[in-house]
Structure formats: structure tokens, C-alpha cells
């Protein structure tokens, strides 16, 4: 009725105005004269106003508003708004252009190994592909090997080799198919592997046997042609000529064989299948340890021989408990008395008493003690040990005799090489000689007694005894040869005497005589069990180039893969032809295990994002292992259940169940290993940015920063040359193993180092300056022509006191597809101009302090490592004012917020906080808006004829628009999203870009009160998101958040409704309501029924979110407040604040907050580095070939030009401005300081590394 009255009043007014004008025109005769037209007047005054405010608008963009000029600027803004209204100027906001990912992201290359288009013969390509696992051979060396290739033709069913024949060749299939069989004890043959063109049949252990002169025949392995086949045979003897000419190649091949044995074979069999003592032979196949010269035995009074016999008898009585004891040592000097063991004695606690989480070996220090002793004149050999530390001059004779035996075992040509490099040690019972995961290991040659070797069982806090090291045998060789951590613990359960050669001393010996690695490597091969030798034929070490497909959707599932290093991407093709990303896999991930165990075709296509190394475990091999060791089935069930459970709980990060096009992806990945940082222009402070990011990442896990200067300083001037490709790749792969994440800082131009950074990257950060004009960098333009498969993130840097972000859409539109963007507010020190030495000095102080978890760099670090914390705010009308109180309590509790989103009122509060990042400012702006919601006059004026809704929505639009102005979602400080219900498509919509106020208004559109908002992109009608997902914690989880804090303020419906039978009379219900003496009944009316129907989907979704493991659910006690109680803003805010304080104080006591900010992979990372066979936190890479080929000192690189020492206004507070000027240093000269230094391969004292 009010609307009809207003309409009648307007019509009457219009008629009155028209009548008066007609009367005035009839009375006044028309006069001829000149005058301005009205539109000319409007344009004249409009232009005049625009000229007056033009200067003020420019100052708004370029400068900040000071406190003194704030009233003046408000007046100018009002004038500008008046001018816009007069001229009806509407600002055209840019719209983000949704771009499809380039084909290189979702599609693999068409050819797996392009033989047809190559200028080289197929046999050469196939041989190159398979010999490449033995190391990088220069062109002359490889051509020399190709001369020895032999072509062989085999008919179907014909044997290529059988048991009993010499195992001396590498077989590469050129065409056809070979089948590899294992002969069981009952004589039956079992198929373990099918070999197709381009693949090979060989055992690296067999190659090692031939190289070391211990050739063996095939015992249980045979191969025959599955069809007519052409095979290339390369005799292993072909390597002999190459090794004689290039001894460093020999050392490198031996090392790679050892590394493959440790990384591939042990990784697959131990870490994933849970095998332990099945991998080692309890009795070494090496030479008999009892064959010592009689002179030695007589000189020792028969002690050595008797000791070995006693040791073998005691081996059966040894056990794994009661570890403890002390260690003494005797040197190989001039016969002088000296104390060589200065460290405190060590004891090892039993781990079975510790909780299950603590799988590591625990070492305790006892009170320090140093044992001094002299040689005694007594010739008697009393005591349990025939030559313990108190045996006098006999010790010297036995020591020399033992050295002679060691010379024989290692085949050392010059015995003087052992002088001053061997120590004689005596360990008492219970002494731990070395621990699993130790990097600084040594060779141990047992003289008397025995050493027990233990290994931690997978997923159990128990140790199992692998084998005993008897007198005359060595232990610890594998870790010394590979330069990697020890894979087992060495302990003396009984008194034991042994010789010890440290790693550095062994490298000195190896430098003088490279062939010593052959005899030492042979002792490792002799310790391997026959089962490991069989598996060495079956398990492949394969390399996949970037872009190549590992397998395609629909292929036969015949094997399982383990990622050693690199990155793979899994893509599924739907029935409509659209491709979607399923997930990405990094180091240590198991690929294809579900399809292989269930024998289903490949569900997805998997291709390499970058160059990747994998271990391939064929299906036949897996079946053979299951038959031989049934306990493996339990381990496989565990792995399979983890995969299935992971899919059910959406543990795949941001890609689970989501399309990959457009807005479905915002977070690159959660298991990144390498990140490349690429500048948009030369003005970007790259050095400071990467150091800030490294500081933030170090708070999460071990991080390494690499630049071209650092690489040249550490690895030599020629490290980036193409000839060093293999060595650099191996070293970089090792750095990925021992660090949680590696940062690659590119050069400003397209140099070989920049190409290497892009090639190594899992994710590329494109860094620009947010206050500059949106531009496309020259380096980016050059990279557009290359197939970059890594996901890209745009990072915009902003000054600490600069303006808010703007024009982000323009930055994104001028680029090809980006997976997302982030705004980073940088400290003043980032933009300060400092010389390298002053930059070093400043960041040395910065690195001494803990990183601020609330800084934007810490937020970026959590995004890159998959540890983001999201805040999700639910809908509930005025009850949503409590959101701000909870946020205030979160800030006080120290909980960072990396991502925010919500529904309805939650979308409004979330948008305010994403723009302000301050609970105080959010509260002020939200209170002002809440007051406007109580205006009855504006509400009455907005009434309209209720066909679609009761209100036109104009007043509500104006109130939202006043809050957010023309802000775009892309310009918010924090990543933001909100949820609406698309009634046109009957689907949920998640908005992550576009006009902020429009999508906030759409998410708050309650049915019947406000009309649906037309989406400015496609015109679809959008309603309140609460109808479909009132607490969208699952959306935040899919966007990459590890932990989601969800605040629910929705109304709770009554569930104890009246059971009125099969029919209901409205008159009876009316009587119950009107009669004050009648018993009240709870029966919903039509409006409530419709509301409950609308929220059915929302209620179900809420229950799923509350029961999820990733969500921390919070509900303040706000049920007494109604949906429109905006007048009680302060009271509702206090309720949320007090409830938040109580909740978060409990979290602090329960360490929930620490678990939230802790890296989810950090515990597993350290555990794997300490206990697994791969790596260790302190591990470094040892290139034995470099040591053999006489490493030159590293060349330092000085900068050609000097950087200005002028310090801008963005100086770090607290630094002394009056510091003396120092001589400029290039980065290569100060990277070895305490702050920036990281573990490198072990070097000899006083040496550097150079590949020149």
C-alpha cells in the first residue's frame, strides 16, 4: 500500500509540473536571442569541476594522505563524486580474462623417445639411453663403447642367456620383446619382467663383479625372446679400455653403482616393502678371513687365530640388548703412546621403551673420560681380548700385521699409503661404533671379536640384526663410497678390536691409487644376498625427460614407480575430452600402486614436469617377492590403504576432485621441492627478496638458496658449462634430498643458469613491483616460447607504508596462464640500496632472530610448503558480528591467517579483514555498516512491489558499495573467496576474482527479501551461498590449506517437533496457539518448512565439515541473538571475543597452535633423513671422481661493477647508520659465512672444488 501511495504522489507531481509549464509558455511570448543550451552549461561546469579536481586525483594515486591534509582530501573526493554524478561517469572496472592452461601443463609430448626424427641411429640412441645410468660419458668415450656393440637375432622362445653362462654383458632390445625369468628351487621359472624396445637387461652388481675381476655366471636368472627380436649386446670388457685411459670414469661408475644400490634397490625393498635382513648375506662371499700368515699368528701368540674362532662361536650367542660401553683407540704413529679417543663415551638406549613416534636411535653422553695408557713390557696376553689396550709391545706387532692384511684385502700397491691413516681401536661390550643416519662414517676392519649391524624396521620402533662382521671383514664401505648416510647401526655386543680408516683418509688413499675402490666395492657386493642380486636385474633405474609421459590413460598396469627426484603430474581426460589435473608427485611418492595391485588399466596420464629419476618395480617382480616373503603383503596392504584413505580424505592438496581450468586452481602444490624466483624487471630487489624468503622458509625446514654466483664459488668456474651437465644435475639432486626446499634465484637475463633454474623448478615465482605500471618482463617474453610445465605464481611486492594493491587484474591479463597471485608487504630493508657486504651484515642479524609468523613472507613460505592456515566464516546475519571478536582473539593467540573466505555475513567480514588485515580496523568499518542497517527510513524507501522480492536492493547495494568502493577481489591483501548459489545453473559458485562488493552482496542475498544479483560475467542469477554451503571449509581445503579454522554462527533449528499423526488440522493448530491454557506444540509453518528445505544441503555439508580431520570447528554462544540484531553489534562482538579467548587459550595448552604452524612434512622429513636409506639432514654429496682427478682450488668471482652504498629511507631500524664503509664483496665471497653456509660434499682439508 505504501508503494502504491508513493507512485500516485509522483504521478500527481508530474502532472502539476506539466500544467504549470504549459501555462507559463502561453503567457510569455517567444523572444529571439542567444543563449547556452542546457547540455552545454552542464558540460561547461562539469569540465570546470574536473579541472579543479584533476590535481587531487593524481595525488590520490601517487602519494599518501597525511593527517593534516585529510579533511582537504575528503572535500576533493566529494567534489569528484559530485562531478561523476552530474556527468554520469561510470568507471569501467577491468575483468580478469580466464585463460586455459597451456598445452604443456596438461599434455605430455607425443613421442616418448623420438627415434625417427633423430639424426643418430636407433641403436646408438638406445645404447645412450641405457648406458646413461652408468654416468656421463663424454662423446669420445661413448663412441669408443659403441664400437664394441654386437647385434644378435633371436627367434621366439630362444634363450638369450641361461643359468651357468657368464654374466658379462648388457643387453638392449632394439625391436621385439625379451622375457626375464627367475628359476625357483623346484626348477620352475617365474616371469619377473618384460623388456621392450629401448629397455635393457643387466645387473649393476654383475657389471661391478666383472670390473673388479670377480666374474660370476648366471645362477637363477635367464632371458628368452618373447617374440622375434633384435638385441644389442655390449660386453662389460668394453669399459676396460675406457677406464685405463680415464681412471676418473672408473671411479665414477663404481660410485654410481653403489648409489643405485643404496638409493634404488634398498629404497624399494626396504622403505616400501619393509624387508631388512633379507637383503644381506649373513656370511660374506669374500675371501676367507682366517687365512693370515703364520708369522702373524705366532707373533700374536696365536691370539688372532684364536680370536676369530671365538668370535664365530660367540656370534650365535650375541643379542641386541644392553647397549653401552666405552671406546679406546691406538694410533699408527711412531709407536708413541697417545690418546686418540677424546670424545665422551657413548651409550645407546633401547628404543622399544620410547613412544612409537620416536623411531630414532637415542644416544646419551656419559661423564667425559679420557683413557691414557702405555705399552707394557709384559709379553703375556692375558685377559679376554688377546690384544686389548693393555697388551704392551705385542700390540704394535699385531697392529703392523693387521695393516698388512688390510693391504691385501684392499689390494693396495704401496703399503705406505696406510701410514698415519689407520687407527687401532678396542671397543668394550655394548659400544655403539656408528649410528644409522650418520654422515661422517669410516671403514672398520675387524681383527678380533665381531661387530653387529642393526637396522630400524619400517613403522616399528624395533631394530633387527642384519649380519655380523667377522674378523678379516670390513663394514661401512657403502656409505664411504656413496658419500651418503649410513643405512644401519654398528655396535659391538662383545669386546672387539678393529682398524679404522676415516672417510677423508680413504679419499686420500683413493687419490693416490684409484683402483682401491674396486676391492672395497667388491666387499660390498659380496655382502649382498642372492635375493638382492636377483632384484638388481628386475628393478630399473629410469630417467624421464621433462614432458615425456611415464604412462598414458588406459595403458596396461604392469609396474609401480617410486620418485627418486624430480616431479610428475597426473592428468585425467573426461568423457567430453576435457583434461583435468588430478595431482602432482614429488620425491619419495609412490605412483601407480593402486592400479598395479588391482590390475586395472591406468586411470590417468602421468608425465614429467621436469627431468625425473624413478625406480621401476615390475608387477612380476612384486608377485615373486610376495610369494617368497609373505610379510610383504601386509606392507602392501598398508600402502594401498594409505592411498585409498588419502583419496577419501582429499589429501591431494588443491587439486582434489577439481577441474584445472580457470578459477579452480589457486595454490600450485603442497609438496614442492624446488622453487625458481624470476624477476619482472631489474628494479626488483631479488637478493633481498630471496633472503627474506629463505629466512621464512628456514622456520619451516632446512632451506638452501642457490644463485649463479654461489654455484661458481662452490663448484668452480666451469660448473655451468654443458660438459658438466651430469655432475651439476647430480649435485642439485643431492641438495633436494637433504633440504626441505631449494630456492633457485635466476639471473636478470636468459643465461644458462636461468635456463637451469626454470628446468629444475617445481614452481616459478614471477616477482614484480606492485607500485609500478603493470609490465611484462623481457625474461618472461623469452620464456613464453619455451614449454614451461612448472606452475607459475605472480608475486607483487609493496612497500610497508605504500598504498593498497591496485590494478592486479592488469598484471594478470597481460600474462599467459598463472596458477595464482600473492601480494607481499615488504619490510623497509628489502627496498634499501646496500652493497653486498652491508646486505650480508644486515641479514646476518636478521637470521639470528626467529621469523615473524604473521609476516607476508612467512605466509608465502607456508603456501609453498603446503602449511597454509585458512579462516572460514559462516553465515548467520547479525550473529556474524561475533566473527570479528574471534579474529581479534586469534591475533592475540598468535595464529596467522593465510587465506580467508566465507558465506553471507561471513563473506562481508572476511572481505573487510582481507583488505585491512587488522581486527581493529575491521571492527570499526563493520560497526559503521551495522549502524546503517538499522535505518528504518532507507529500508522503507527501498520497498517495492513484491513479485521477486520485498525490496529492490538499491539501498542494500549502496551500503555495501560504500564499504568496498570499486575494490577488486584480486586487489585484497589476503587470498579471498566467497560462496553463492547459482539458481540459473542450480550449482554452487566460488568467487575468487571480480567486483568485491557485487559478490559480497550476492552472497548475502536472502530469498524473498532481496532480488538475485546478476553475475557481471555471465548474467546468471546469484543468491545467498548459505543455501548450499554455509561453512565452506572444504573449499578452503581444496585451495591448499592444511588447517581450516571454521566459525559457525548459523541458526540451529528445533529437532524435537510434535508428532501430530497422519494429518494436521490448521484450526486445531490455531486453537493451540491462541489458547493460553493449552499445551504448546512445535509444528513448523509454511515459511519454516521452505527454509528448512532450502538449507537441507547446507546442514549435510556442515556435518561433513565438523567431522573432518583438517577442520577446527568453533561455534560462539550466539543463539540468543536474532538475524537482524545489528543494533547489538558490540554485545555480539564481545561474545565472540570472550569465547575465542577461552578456546585459543586451551589450544595453547594443548599445543594445537604449534601443530598448526608446524610443517606437516617436517617430522617425516627429519625421520626419513635420519632413518631411511636415502639421505640425512647433514648429508653432502661426494664425487669420488673429482677427488681422483685432483681438484683445483675454487675460483672466487668479484663483481665487475660496484653497487651504490647510498642508503635510502628504507633502512632497517636498529642498524647503526654510522658504520664504516667496507670494501665491496661479491656474493661469491660472503656466501660461506655462518648464516648462508650449507653442507657441501666432504672435501679434503684445505681444498676447494673446481670443475675447471
User: Using CA atoms, how far apart are residues 505 and 502, in angstroms rounded to an integer?
Assistant: 5
C-alpha cell at 357: 613416534
Inter-residue contact 466 to 456 (CB < 8 Å): no
What pLDDT band is residue 667 in, cutting at 50, 70 and 90? very low
Question: Taking a C-beta distance cutoff of 8 angstroms, is the pair 521, 212 a contact?
Answer: yes
Would the pLDDT of 325 be above 90?
no
Residue 225 pLDDT greater than 80, yes or no = yes
The answer to whether the CB of 390 falls within 8 A of the CB of 328 is no
Mean pLDDT of 910-916: 96
Q: Which of 282-286, 368-372, 489-493 has the lowest mean pLDDT?
A: 368-372
pLDDT > 90? residue 543: no
Q: Is the pLDDT of residue 784 over 50?
A: yes
- Complete DSSP assignment for 200-240: EE--HHHHHHHHTT---B-SSEEEEESSSEEEEEEETTHHH
pLDDT at residue 541 above 50?
A: yes
For residue 1008, pLDDT beyond 80: yes
Furthest CA-CA distance within the chain: 148
pLDDT of residue 960: 94
Q: Picking from 216-220, 325-329, 929-933, 1011-1015, which range would have the lowest pLDDT averaged per residue? A: 325-329
**DSSP string over 720-775:** TSGGGHHHHHHHHHHHHHHSSEEEEEPPSS--HHHHHHHHH-SEEEEEEETTSPP-
Q: What is the DSSP string of 678-725?
A: EESSTTS-HHHHHHHHHHHHHTTS-EEEE-HHHHHHHH-TTTTSGGGH
- The mean-pLDDT minimum among 468-482, 621-635, 1085-1099, 1112-1126 falls in 1085-1099
What confidence score (pLDDT) does residue 1067 get?
Answer: 86
Pick the most confident of 60-69, 110-119, 1091-1100: 1091-1100
Residues in a beta bridge with 792? 764
Q: What pLDDT score does 984 carry?
A: 92
DSSP single-letter state for residue 449: S
Distance, CA of 747 to CA of 757 (rounded, Å): 9
Residues in the chain: 1252
* Secondary structure element (H or E) that encloses residue 1194, with its range: none
Mean pLDDT confidence for 578-583: 83
1023 contact partners, CB below 8 Å, separation of at least 6:
980, 981, 982, 983, 1002, 1005, 1007, 1012
pLDDT over 50 at 800, yes or no: yes
Residue (of 663, 799, 842, 675) closest to 745 by Cα position: 675
Closest C-alpha among 1047, 1028, 1232, 1039 to residue 1140: 1047
pLDDT at 713: 87
> What residue has cell string 632446512?
702
Banded model confidence at residue 61, pLDDT cuts 50, 70, 90: very low
pLDDT at residue number 25 = 62
Q: What is the pLDDT of residue 1179?
A: 38
**Helix, strand, or coil (residue 465):** strand
Stronger pLDDT, 40 or 157, i.e. the higher one: 157
Flag whether pLDDT at 1177 surpasses 70.
no
User: Is residue 430 within 8 Å of 492, Cβ to Cβ?
Assistant: yes
pLDDT of the residue at 881: 94
Which residue is it, cell 623448478? 761
Residue 112's pLDDT band, with cuts at 50, 70 and 90, is low
Does pLDDT of 1199 surpass 80?
Answer: no
**pLDDT tens-digit profile of 560-576?**
998 888 889 888 988 88
Phi-psi region of 672 (alpha: psi -120 to 50; beta: other; left: phi over 0): beta
- Helix, strand or coil for residue 977? strand
Which option is the CATH number for 669-848+1199-1252: 3.30.300, 3.30.70, 3.40.50, 1.20.1300? Answer: 3.40.50
Give the span between the Cα atoms of 537 and 326, in whole angstroms: 43
Residue 1173 confidence (pLDDT) above 80: no
Tens digit of pLDDT for each residue in 831-857? Answer: 988 887 888 888 888 988 889 999 999
Which are the contacts of 1146, defined by CB distance < 8 A and separation ≥ 6? Answer: 1152
Query: For residue 353, how many C-alpha atoms fall within 13 Å in the half-sphere facing its CB?
Result: 6
Q: What would the mean pLDDT of 935-948 be, rounded to a whole number?
A: 86
**In the prediction, which pLDDT does 394 show?**
67
Cα–Cα distances (Å) from 1212 to 364, 803, 830, in that order, read 43, 20, 9
CATH superfamily for domain 868-1049+1101-1157? Cytosolic phospholipase A2 catalytic domain (3.40.1090.10)
834: region left, alpha or beta (phi > 0 left; psi from -120 to 50 alpha): beta
Q: Give strand pairing partners of 979.
A: 990
pLDDT grade for 119, boundaries at 50, 70 and 90: low
pLDDT exceeds cutoff 90 at 10: no
pLDDT of residue 1116: 94
pLDDT tens digits, one per residue of 355-379 = 333 333 333 333 332 222 333 333 3
Which runs of E-coded beta strand occur in 503-604?
540-544, 549-551, 559-573, 579-585, 590-591
Identity of the highest mean pLDDT range in 100-104, 622-626, 728-732, 1184-1188: 622-626
Q: Mean pLDDT, the chain, as a whole number? A: 76
* Fold designation for 122-242: Jelly Rolls (2.60.120)
**In the structure, what pLDDT confidence band is assigned to residue 646 with cuts at 50, 70 and 90?**
low
Binning pLDDT at 50, 70 and 90, where does residue 733 land?
Answer: confident
Query: Which pairing describes strands 200-201 and 169-175: parallel, antiparallel, or unpaired?
Result: antiparallel
Lowest mean pLDDT, pick from 665-669, 771-775, 910-914, 1190-1194: 1190-1194
Which pLDDT belongs to residue 351?
A: 32
Residue 1183 pLDDT level (bands cut at 50, 70, 90): low
Query: Once rounded to an integer, what is the mean pLDDT over residues 449-471?
Result: 85
pLDDT at 457 over 60: yes
Q: Please give the Cα distance from 621 to 627 (Å, whole number).
A: 10
Percent of the chain with pLDDT over 90: 24
Average pLDDT over residues 83-95: 65
Instruction: Measure the CA–CA gap between 610 and 546, rounded to whole angstroms.
Output: 4
Q: What is the model's pLDDT at position 1175? A: 36
The arithmetic mean of pLDDT across residues 876-895, rounded, is 94
Per-residue pLDDT at 1241 exceeds 60? no
Which has more confidence, 357 or 486? Answer: 486
Taking the CA of residue 285 as centre, how many other CA atoms within 13 Å lie in the half-sphere pointing to its CB? 16
Point out the residues that are catalytic. 904, 1024
- Residue 960 DSSP one-character state: H
The span from the CA of 41 to the CA of 59, in Å, is: 28
pLDDT at 642 (0 to 100): 67
Q: Looking at residues 43-69, what average pLDDT do you find? A: 59
As a CATH number, domain 288-366+402-525 is 2.60.120.10
Higher pLDDT, 78 or 757: 757
Tell me what pLDDT residue 482 has. Answer: 82
Q: Which H or E run includes 643? A: helix 631-648
Q: What is the mean pLDDT of residues 1159-1173?
A: 49
Is the pLDDT score of 169 beyond 50?
Answer: yes
Q: Which one, of 442, 413, 471, 111, lies nearest residue 284 by Cα?
A: 471
Among 382-386, 1051-1055, 1234-1238, the range of highest mean pLDDT: 1051-1055
Rounded to an integer, what is the distance from CA 60 to the centroid of its chain?
Answer: 42
More reliable by pLDDT, 246 or 929: 929
**Greater model confidence, 719 or 809:** 809
pTM: 0.73
Best-predicted range by mean pLDDT among 468-472, 742-746, 1048-1052?
A: 742-746
- More confidently predicted of 1022 and 1232: 1022
Short-list 434, 471, 473, 482, CA closest to 454: 434
Tens digits of residue pLDDT in 680-693: 999 999 999 999 99
Across residues 141-169, what is the average pLDDT?
Answer: 86
Q: Is the pLDDT of residue 801 over 90?
A: no
Q: What is the mean pLDDT of residues 714-722?
A: 82
Amino acid at each position: 500500500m505504501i508503494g502504491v501511495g508513493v507512485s500516485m504522489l509522483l504521478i500527481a507531481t508530474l502532472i502539476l509540473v506539466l500544467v504549470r509549464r504549459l501555462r507559463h509558455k502561453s503567457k510569455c511570448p517567444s523572444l529571439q536571442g542567444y543563449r547556452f543550451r542546457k547540455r552545454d552549461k552542464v558540460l561547461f561546469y562539469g569540465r570546470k569541476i574536473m579541472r579543479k579536481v584533476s590535481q587531487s586525483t593524481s595525488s590520490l594515486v601517487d602519494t599518501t594522505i597525511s593527517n593534516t591534509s585529510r579533511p582537504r582530501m575528503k572535500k576533493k573526493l566529494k567534489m569528484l563524486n559530485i562531478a561523476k554524478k552530474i556527468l554520469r561517469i561510470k568507471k569501467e572496472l577491468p575483468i580478469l580474462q580466464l585463460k586455459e592452461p597451456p598445452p604443456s601443463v596438461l599434455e605430455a609430448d607425443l613421442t616418448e623417445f623420438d627415434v625417427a626424427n633423430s639424426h643418430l641411429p636407433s641403436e646408438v640412441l638406445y645404447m645412450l639411453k641405457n648406458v646413461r645410468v652408468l654416468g656421463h660419458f663424454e662423446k669420445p668415450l661413448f663412441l669408443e663403447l659403441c664400437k664394441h656393440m654386437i647385434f644378435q637375432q633371436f627367434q621366439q622362445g630362444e634363450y638369450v642367456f641361461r643359468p651357468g653362462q657368464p654374466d658379462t654383458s648388457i643387453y638392449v632390445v632394439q625391436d621385439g620383446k625379451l622375457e626375464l625369468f627367475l628359476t625357483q628351487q623346484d626348477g620352475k621359472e617365474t616371469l619377473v619382467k618384460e623388456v621392450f624396445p629401448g629397455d635393457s637387461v643387466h645387473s649393476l652388481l654383475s657389471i661391478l663383479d666383472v670390473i673388479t675381476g670377480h666374474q660370476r655366471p648366471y645362477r637363477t636368472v635367464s632371458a628368452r625372446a618373447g617374440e622375434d627380436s633384435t638385441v644389442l649386446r655390449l660386453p662389460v670388457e668394453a669399459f676396460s679400455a675406457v677406464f685405463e685411459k680415464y681412471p676418473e670414469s672408473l671411479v665414477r661408475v663404481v660410485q654410481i653403482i653403489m648409489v643405485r644400490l643404496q638409493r634404488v634397490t634398498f629404497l624399494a625393498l626396504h622403505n616400501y616393502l619393509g624387508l631388512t635382513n633379507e637383503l644381506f648375506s649373513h656370511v660374506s662371499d669374500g675371501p676367507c678371513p682366517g687365512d693370515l700368515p703364520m708369522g702373524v699368528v705366532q707373533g700374536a701368540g696365536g691370539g688372532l687365530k684364536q680370536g676369530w674362532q671365538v668370535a664365530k662361536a660367540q656370534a650365535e650367542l650375541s643379542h641386541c640388548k644392553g647397549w653401552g660401553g666405552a671406546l679406546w683407540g691406538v694410533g699408527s704413529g711412531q709407536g708413541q703412546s697417545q690418546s686418540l679417543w677424546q670424545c665422551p663415551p657413548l651409550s645407546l638406549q633401547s628404543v622399544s621403551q620410547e613412544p612409537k613416534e620416536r623411531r630414532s636411535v637415542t644416544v646419551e653422553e656419559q661423564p667425559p673420560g679420557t683413557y691414557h695408557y702405555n705399552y707394557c713390557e709384559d709379553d703375556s696376553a692375558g685377559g679376554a681380548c688377546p690384544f686389548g689396550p693393555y697388551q704392551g709391545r705385542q700390540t704394535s706387532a699385531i697392529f703392523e700385521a693387521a695393516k698388512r692384511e688390510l693391504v691385501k684385502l684392499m689390494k693396495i700397491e704401496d703399503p705406505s699409503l696406510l701410514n698415519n691413516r689407520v687407527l687401532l681401536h678396542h671397543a668394550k661390550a655394548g659400544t655403539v661404533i656408528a649410528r644409522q643416519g650418520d654422515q661422517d662414517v669410516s671403514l672398520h676392519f675387524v681383527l678380533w671379536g665381531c661387530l653387529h649391524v642393526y637396522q630400524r624396521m619400517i613403522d616399528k620402533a624395533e631394530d633387527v640384526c642384519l649380519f655380523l662382521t667377522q674378523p678379516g671383514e670390513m663394514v661401512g664401505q657403502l656409505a664411504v663410497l656413496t658419500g651418503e648416510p649410513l643405512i644401519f647401526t654398528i655396535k659391538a655386543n662383545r669386546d672387539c678390536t678393529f682398524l679404522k680408516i676415516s672417510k677423508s683418509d680413504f679419499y686420500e688413499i683413493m687419490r693416490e691409487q684409484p683402483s682401491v675402490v674396486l676391492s672395497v666395492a667388491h666387499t660390498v657386493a659380496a655382502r649382498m644376498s642372492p635375493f638382492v642380486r636377483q632384484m638388481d636385474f628386475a628393478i630399473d633405474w629410469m630417467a624421464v625427460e621433462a614432458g615425456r609421459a611415464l604412462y598414458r590413460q588406459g595403458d596396461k598396469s604392469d609396474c609401480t614407480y617410486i620418485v627418486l627426484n624430480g616431479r610428475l603430474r597426473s592428468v585425467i581426460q573426461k568423457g567430453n575430452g576435457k583434461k583435468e589435473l588430478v595431482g602432482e608427485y614429488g620425491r619419495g611418492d609412490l605412483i601407480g600402486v593402486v592400479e598395479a595391485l588391482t590390475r586395472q588399466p591406468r586411470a590417468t596420464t602421468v608425465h614429467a614436469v621436469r627431468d625425473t629419476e624413478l625406480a621401476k618395480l615390475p608387477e612380476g617382480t612384486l608377485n615373486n617377492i610376495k610369494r617368497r616373503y609373505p610379510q610383504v603383503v601386509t606392507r602392501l596392504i598398508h600402502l594401498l590403504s594409505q592411498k585409498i584413505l588419502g583419496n577419501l580424505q582429499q589429501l591431494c592438496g588443491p587439486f582434489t576432485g577439481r577441474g584445472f581450468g580457470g578459477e579452480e586452481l589457486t595454490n600450485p602444490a603442497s609438496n614442492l621441492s624446488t622453487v625458481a624466483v624470476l624477476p619482472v624487471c631489474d628494479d626488483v630487489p631479488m637478493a633481498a627478496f630471496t633472503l627474506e624468503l629463505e629466512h621464512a622458509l628456514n622456520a619451516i625446514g632446512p632451506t638452501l638458496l642457490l644463485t649463479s654466483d654461489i654455484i661458481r664459488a662452490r663448484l668452480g668456474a666451469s660448473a655451468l658449462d654443458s660438459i658438466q651437465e651430469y655432475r651439476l644435475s647430480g649435485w642439485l639432486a643431492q641438495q633436494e634430498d637433504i633440504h626441505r626446499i631449494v630456492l633457485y634465484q635466476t639471473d636478470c637475463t636468459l643465461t644458462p643458469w636461468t635456463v637451469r633454474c626454470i628446468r629444475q623448478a617445481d614452481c616459478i615465482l614471477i616477482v614484480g613491483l606492485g607500485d609500478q605500471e603493470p609490465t611484462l618482463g623481457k625474461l618472461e617474453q623469452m620464456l613464453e616460447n619455451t614449454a614451461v610445465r612448472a606452475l607459475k605464481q605472480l608475486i607483487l611486492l609493496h612497500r610497508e607504508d605504500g598504498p593498497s594493491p591496485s590494478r592486479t587484474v592488469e598484471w594478470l591479463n597481460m600474462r599467459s596462464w598463472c596458477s595464482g597471485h600473492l601480494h607481499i608487504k615488504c619490510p623497509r630493508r628489502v627496498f634499501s640500496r646496500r652493497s653486498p657486504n652491508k646486505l650480508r651484515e644486515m641479514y646476518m642479524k636478521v637470521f639470528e632472530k626467529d621469523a615473524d609468523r604473521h609476516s607476508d613472507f612467512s605466509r608465502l613460505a607456508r603456501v609453498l610448503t603446503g602449511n597454509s592456515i585458512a579462516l572460514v566464516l559462516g553465515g548467520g546475519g547479525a550473529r556474524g558480528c561475533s566473527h570479528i571478536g574471534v579474529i581479534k582473539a586469534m591475533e592475540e593467540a598468535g595464529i596467522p591467517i593465510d587465506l580467508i573466505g566465507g558465506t553471507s555475513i561471513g563473506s562481508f567480514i572476511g572481505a573487510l579483514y582481507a583488505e585491512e588485515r587488522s581486527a581493529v580496523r575491521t571492527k570499526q568499518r563493520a560497526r559503521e555498516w551495522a549502524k546503517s542497517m538499522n535505518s528504518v527510513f532507507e529500508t522503507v524507501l527501498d520497498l517495492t512491489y513484491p513479485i521477486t522480492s520485498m525490496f529492490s536492493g538499491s539501498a542494500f547495494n549502496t551500503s555495501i558499495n560504500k564499504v568496498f568502493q570499486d575494490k577488486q577481489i584480486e586487489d585484497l591483501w589476503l587470498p579471498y573467496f566467497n560462496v553463492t548459489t547459482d539458481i540459473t545453473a542450480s550449482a554452487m559458485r566460488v568467487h575468487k576474482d571480480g567486483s568485491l562488493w557485487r559478490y559480497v552482496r550476492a552472497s548475502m542475498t536472502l530469498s524473498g527479501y532481496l532480488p538475485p544479483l546478476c553475475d557481471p560475467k555471465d548474467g546468471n542469477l546469484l543468491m545467498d551461498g548459505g543455501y548450499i554451503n554455509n561453512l565452506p571449509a572444504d573449499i578452503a581445503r581444496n585451495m591448499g590449506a592444511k588447517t581450516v579454522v571454521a566459525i559457525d554462527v548459523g541458526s540451529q533449528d528445533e529437532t524435537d517437533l510434535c508428532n501430530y499423526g497422519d494429518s494436521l488440522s490448521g484450526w486445531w493448530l490455531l486453537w493451540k496457539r491462541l489458547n493460553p491454557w493449552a499445551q504448546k506444540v512445535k509444528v513448523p509453518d509454511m515459511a519454516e518448512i521452505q527454509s528448512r528445505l532450502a538449507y537441507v544441503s547446507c546442514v549435510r555439508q556442515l556435518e561433513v565439515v565438523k567431522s573432518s580431520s583438517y577442520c577446527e570447528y568453533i561455534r560462539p554462544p550466539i543463539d540468543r541473538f536474532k538475524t537482524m540484531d545489528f543494533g547489538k553489534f558490540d554485545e555480539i562482538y564481545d561474545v565472540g571475543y570472550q569465547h575465542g579467548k577461552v578456546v585459543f587459550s586451551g589450544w595453547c595448552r594443548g599445543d594445537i597452535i604449534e601443530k598448526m604452524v608446524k610443517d606437516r612434512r617436517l617430522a617425516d622429513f627429519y625421520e626419513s633423513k635420519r632413518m631411511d636409506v636415502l639421505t640425512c639432514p647433514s648429508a653432502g654429496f661426494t664425487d669420488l671422481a673429482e677427488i681422483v682427478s685432483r681438484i683445483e682450488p675454487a675460483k672466487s668471482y668479484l663483481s665487475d661493477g660496484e653497487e651504490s652504498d647510498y642508503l635510502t629511507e628504507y633502512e632497517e631500524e636498529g642498524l647503526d647508520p654510522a658504520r664504516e664503509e667496507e670494501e665491496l664483496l661479491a656474493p661469491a665471497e660472503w656466501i660461506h659465512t655462518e648464516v648462508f653456509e650449507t653442507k657441501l660434499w666432504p672435501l679434503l682439508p684445505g681444498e676447494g672444488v673446481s670443475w675447471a
